[in-house]
């Protein structure tokens, strides 16, 4: 059995299902104290006074830490615009809270209950400041400025008198002339919403001082060395004085890419000299970490009567929330993805991300592509309807292919398979039979483009409309727009005449996706041995250099290239009689470039992944409830290292995306979270997910991937929403341009037709 291409059992499977695997919340150290993080609880205010004396005197309390105790009171993945602790005695930036989840104090006590009780004794006098939650209002000249202070801004000079964090622009061709020549023009405004990651394991971890004097932080994260760098920066330490350790990780989906408890745990351990542990509640987790970016996308697209899209104009605004997090990078993706996987000769895109007092927005599976593609794919479906073309056919006439030129002026990287996934999706469904027949329930006739008959209390329960929709997508694999990209690995070979075992060092995070199993399979395949002969070392920053983040659908692509490179070099040394034979390798992919500030000219991404989906839905005309009966997801993965894991990623992405599309509704009002529990923030149960998910795997090699593989974990999330929205329109003749498509929203438009 080949190592790559086989559904080898995950290396952590038995330990996880038997409860042996230790997650951060399961780990204890003798003599540990407990920490409670105090949230601001207000959306925007200046701290005038903070009194911690009663908390310090409370039973069991060891220490209370505030802003003045943080050596370098700033952090941030892209830019350090966020205080570790808001409060007095530090920096002007730290004196203002901009989000209800800002941290204002840490209480360390002998027990978790004592720390929580003492935290309630801290007295804070706030001067309320204007709260702004609408990104469009935040851009107005008279809007209160949320970040008037300087910080290290990596994009040149920042306008301190604006809430616009960053803008991007794409210009290609002449859109005005193209619109004048278009036979049909479609204009719409799309709204997408925030989404909670809802990973199984809330934030938890501990920190302690090791015998060698270094501080070790044991948490769940997505990028060990970036965590290390941010902890070291905030504490004024050399990076080598901080050790990050990742035990088992209970899900991430982008939600662990930005910091939560890492810095404050290390601070508390250093200050007290004790091991310090914390475990957040689900409510703290939902309030206290970032969400998917809400977007507003204004679209105007024009096409000729033969179905060629000749012009696309997009105005894109994302809500960054209170701090930058990864907003500029998400915006970079959305700026290109809002045009879909199509070659459009005339393009005009203006995009910006804007500070508000909402929960910070950050990384989430798809990273701007789901929002951008929702608009792009809905525009394509509307153009098809306006021109009387089949939705597959209009895509066929415009889809990217090898040699296509992107709106950035650069060619699509070799290995473009957007057309192939589209054609396979069409083949799976049969483009000539776009209607649905499900079971023995008669389809309720609903004439397209006419509002359905208003319902009544005694309406028949058999009034179900059915429809089918298609959408396709592309998404970058790897970091983008000039961000440095590399991955370290080493391989060490042991044995006599033959290689009997191999050790592999690579610290890419396995957040539940099975990356560590894939690492072992790639090493085994390269070395010509069985996966059972490979040992992976991946638990701390001491193992090797940075592997980069478990994000951007990059982990297996990048680490696979690094591990294969190290294995090939180790084999060469083995053949030269070295025993043991060891080789280190750092994989650097081809370079990318950032957007030109005026035209967007660039070579933005290393390579791409491609997906097409067809959704079959039922719409209850009385209640507005939408049920996805079947969803076909065609995914080009280049090479399926572990086919079963690939299928799992497809099914998980679809389930998560159906939740975002139909039911998950993160509600904030005046900067306060109204849905901080899983009882009022609803995620899909087994009764809510697609009845039948059909994962289709294509293996068309990516020229840059190890053994031809390409990243794929985000792609099956991206086209789900526009495929479902298109299917709803097919069923009832009403366009839905705002997510989520909750029963109430669907029903109201069914009744009004507006």
Sign of torsion over alpha carbons 718, 723, 728, 729: positive
Which strands make up the sheet holding 534-537, listed edge to edge? 534-537, 499-505, 487-495, 581-587
Q: What is the pLDDT of residue 447?
A: 36
CA distance linking residue 142 with residue 122, whole number of Å = 35
pLDDT at 430: 79
Q: At what angle do helices 224-235 and 262-272 cross, to 10 degrees?
A: 50
pLDDT for the residue 653: 98
pLDDT, position 107: 98
Distance CA 35, CA 203 (A): 13
Q: Which residues contact 685 (CB under 8 A, 6 or more apart)?
A: none
Residue 446 pLDDT grade (very low, low, confident, very high; cuts 50, 70, 90): very low
Q: What does the DSSP 8-state code read for residue 554? A: -
Tens digits of residue pLDDT in 254-274: 999 999 999 999 999 999 999
Give the residue-averaged pLDDT of 326-341.
98
Rg (CA), the chain: 26
The predicted pLDDT at position 434 comes to 53
206-245 in b/e form (b: 16+ CB < 10 A) is bbbbeeeeebbbbbbbbbbbbbbbbbbbbbebeeebbbbb
Reading the block at residue 688, the tokens are: 């809510």
Q: Confidence band (pLDDT; 50, 70, 90) for 455?
A: very low
Please tell me the predicted confidence (pLDDT) of residue 230: 98
What is the rounded CA–CA span in Å between residue 82 and residue 67? Answer: 12
- Over range 58-81, report the average pLDDT: 98
Alpha-helix residue ranges (DSSP H) falling in 253-361: 262-272, 282-288, 327-337
Question: Quick one: which H or E segment has residue 475?
Answer: strand 464-477
**DSSP codes, 358-419:** SPPB---TTTTHHHHHHHHHHHHHHHHHHHT--HHHHHHTTB--TT-B-TTSSBPPS---HH
Q: What is the pLDDT of residues 365-394, one digit of tens each?
A: 999 999 999 999 999 999 999 999 999 999
List phi, psi (to 5°) of 355.
Answer: -70, 140
The residues near 465 (Cβ < 8 Å, ≥ 6 apart) are 443, 444, 446, 452, 618, 619, 621, 731, 732
Cα angle value 520/523/528 (rounded, 5°): 120
Rounded Cα distance between 710 and 687, Å, is 32
The answer to whether residue 606 scores a pLDDT higher than 50 is yes
Q: What residues contact 216, with CB distance under 8 A and at least 6 apart? A: 207, 208, 209, 210, 242, 243, 244, 245, 540
Decide which of 230 and 454 is more confident: 230
**Assigned token pair, 259:** 């910091």
Is residue 469 within 8 A of residue 614, CB to CB? The reply is yes
The percent of residues in the chain predicted with pLDDT above 90, rounded, is 95
Write the burial class of residue 432 (CB in 10 Å: 0-12 exposed, 13-18 middle, 19+ buried): exposed
How far, in Å, CA of 518 to CA of 75, rounded?
33
Of the candidates 661, 660, 650, 656, the residue with the CA atom closest to the CA atom of residue 715? 650
Express each pLDDT in 85-115 by its tens digit: 999 999 999 999 999 999 999 999 999 999 9
Distance of CA 427 to the CA centre of its chain: 30
Judge if the upstream peptide bond of residue 580 is cis by omega within 30 degrees of 0: yes
Examine the pLDDT at 31 and tell me if it is beyond 60: yes
The predicted-structure confidence for 611-639, as pLDDT tens digits, reads as follows 999 999 999 999 999 999 999 999 999 99
In the predicted model, is pLDDT for residue 497 greater than 60? Answer: yes
| C-beta of residue 507 within 8 angstroms of C-beta of residue 489 | no
Better-scored residue on pLDDT, 454 or 538: 538
The angle formed by the CA atoms of residues 203, 656 and 391, to the nearest 5 degrees, is 150
Rounded to the nearest 5°, which phi and psi values hold at 231? -60, -45
Among candidates 196, 192, 179, which has minimal Cα distance to 334? 192
CA distances from 735 to 353, 401, 465, 478, 651 (A): 27, 29, 15, 34, 27
458: pLDDT strictly greater than 70: no
Q: Kindly state the tokens that stand for 17.
A: 């299902």
**Please, is 148 exposed, middle or buried when counting C-beta atoms within 10 Å of its C-beta (0-12, 13-18, 19+)?**
exposed
User: What does the mean pLDDT of the chain come to?
Assistant: 95
User: Residue 605 and residue 687: Cα distance in Å, rounded?
Assistant: 38
Count, residues in the chain: 754
3 state SS of 331: helix
Task: Count H helices and E strands in the chain, helices first.
Answer: 17, 25
Asked whether residue 314 carries a pLDDT value surpassing 70, the answer given is: yes
Q: What percent of the chain has pLDDT over 70?
A: 95
Residue 426: alpha-carbon gap to chain centroid: 28
Which three-class secondary structure state does DSSP give residue 520? helix
Chain-centre distance of CA 418, in angstroms? 22
Signed CA dihedral, 116, 121, 122, 124: sign only = positive
* Long-range CB contacts for residues 232-240, cutoff 8 Å, separation at least 24: 233/72, 233/74, 233/75, 233/80, 234/70, 234/71, 234/72, 234/73, 234/74, 234/75, 234/84, 234/263, 234/267, 235/70, 235/71, 235/72, 235/263, 235/266, 235/267, 235/270, 236/71, 236/72, 240/214
658, two tokens: 């159906």
CB 474 within 8 A of CB 399: no
586 phi/psi in degrees, rounded to 5 = -115, 115
In DSSP terms, which residues pair with 215 in a beta bridge? 209, 242
Residue 160's SS3 state is coil
SS3 (DSSP) at 727: helix
Extract the runs of DSSP E, i.e. beta strands, from 143-212.
164-172, 184-192, 204-209
DSSP structural state of residue 200: S
- Tell me the C-alpha distance between 424 and 407, whole Å: 26
Provide the angle, in degrees to the nearest 10, between the axes of the packed helices 369-387 and 720-732: 30
Confidence (pLDDT) at 452: 41
């Amino acid at each position: 059995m080949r190592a790559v291409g086989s559904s080898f059992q995950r290396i952590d499977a038995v330990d996880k299902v038997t409860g042996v695997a230790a997650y951060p919340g399961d780990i204890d150290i003798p003599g540990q104290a407990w920490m409670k993080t105090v949230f601001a609880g207000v959306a925007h205010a200046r701290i005038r006074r903070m009194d911690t004396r009663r908390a310090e005197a409370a039973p069991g309390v060891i220490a209370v830490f505030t802003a003045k105790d943080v050596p370098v009171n700033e952090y941030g993945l892209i830019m350090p615009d966020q205080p570790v602790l808001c409060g007095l005695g530090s920096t002007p930036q730290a004196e203002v809270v901009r989000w209800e989840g800002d941290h204002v104090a840490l209480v360390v006590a002998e027990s978790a209950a004592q720390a929580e009780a003492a935290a309630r004794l801290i007295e804070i006098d706030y001067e309320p400041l204007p709260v702004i939650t609408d990104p469009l209002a935040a851009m107005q000249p008279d809007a209160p400025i949320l970040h008037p202070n300087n910080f290290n801004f990596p994009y040149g000079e920042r306008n301190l008198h604006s809430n616009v964090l960053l803008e991007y622009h794409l210009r290609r061709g002449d859109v005005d002339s193209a619109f004048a020549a278009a036979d049909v023009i479609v204009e719409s405004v799309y709204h997408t919403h925030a989404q909670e990651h809802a990973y199984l394991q809330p934030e938890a971890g501990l920190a302690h001082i090791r015998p060698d004097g270094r501080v070790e932080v044991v948490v769940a994260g997505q990028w060990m060395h970036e965590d290390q760098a941010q902890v070291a920066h905030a504490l004024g330490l050399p990076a080598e004085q901080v050790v990050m350790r990742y035990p088992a990780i209970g899900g991430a989906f982008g939600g662990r890419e930005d910091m939560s408890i890492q810095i404050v745990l290390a601070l508390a351990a250093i200050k007290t000299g004790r091991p310090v542990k914390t475990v957040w509640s689900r409510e703290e987790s939902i309030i206290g970490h970032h969400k998917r970016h809400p977007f507003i996308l204004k679209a105007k697209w024009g096409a000729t009567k033969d179905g060629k899209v000749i012009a696309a104009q997009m105005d894109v605004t994302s809500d960054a929330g209170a701090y930058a997090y990864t907003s500029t990078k998400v915006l970079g993706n959305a700026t290109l993805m809002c045009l879909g996987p199509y070659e459009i000769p005339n393009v005009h895109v203006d995009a910006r991300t804007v500070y508000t007092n909402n929960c910070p927005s950050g990384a989430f599976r798809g990273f701007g592509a789901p929002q951008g593609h929702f608009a792009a794919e809905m525009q394509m479906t509307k153009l098809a309807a306006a021109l009387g073309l089949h939705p597959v056919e209009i895509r066929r006439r415009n889809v990217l292919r090898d040699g296509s030129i992107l709106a950035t002026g650069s060619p699509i990287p070799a290995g473009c398979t957007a057309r192939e996934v589209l054609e396979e999706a069409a083949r799976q469904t049969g483009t000539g039979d776009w209607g649905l027949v499900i079971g023995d329930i008669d389809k309720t006739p609903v004439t397209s483009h006419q509002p359905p008959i208003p319902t009544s209390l005694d309406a028949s329960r058999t009034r179900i409309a059915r429809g089918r929709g298609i959408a396709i997508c592309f998404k970058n694999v790897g970091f983008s727009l000039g961000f440095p990209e590399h991955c370290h690995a080493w391989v060490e070979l042991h044995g006599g005449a033959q290689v009997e075992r191999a050790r592999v060092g690579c610290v890419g995070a396995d957040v539940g996706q099975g990356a560590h199993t894939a690492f072992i399979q790639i090493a085994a395949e390269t070395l010509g041995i069985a996966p059972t002969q490979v040992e992976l070392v991946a638990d701390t920053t001491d193992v090797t250099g940075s592997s980069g983040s478990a994000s951007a659908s990059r982990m297996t692509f990048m680490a696979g290239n690094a591990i294969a490179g190290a294995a090939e070099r180790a084999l060469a040394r083995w053949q030269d009689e070295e025993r043991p034979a060891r080789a280190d390798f750092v994989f650097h992919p081809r370079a990318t470039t950032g957007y030109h500030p005026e035209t967007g000219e660039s070579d933005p991404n290393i390579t791409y992944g491609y997906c097409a989906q067809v959704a079959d839905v039922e719409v209850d005309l009385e209640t507005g409830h939408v049920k996805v009966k079947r969803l076909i997801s065609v995914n080009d993965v280049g090479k399926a290292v572990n086919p079963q894991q690939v299928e799992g990623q497809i099914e998980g992405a679809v389930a998560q995306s159906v939740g975002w599309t139909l039911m998950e509704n993160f509600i904030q009002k005046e900067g306060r979270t109204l849905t901080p529990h899983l009882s009022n923030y609803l995620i899909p149960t087994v009764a809510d997910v697609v009845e039948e998910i059909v994962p289709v795997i294509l293996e068309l090699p990516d020229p840059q991937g190890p053994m031809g593989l390409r990243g794929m974990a985000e792609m099956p999330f991206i086209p789900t929403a526009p495929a479902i929205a298109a299917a709803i329109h097919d069923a009832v003749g009403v366009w839905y341009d705002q997510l989520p498509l909750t029963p109430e929203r669907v029903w109201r438009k069914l009744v009004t037709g507006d």
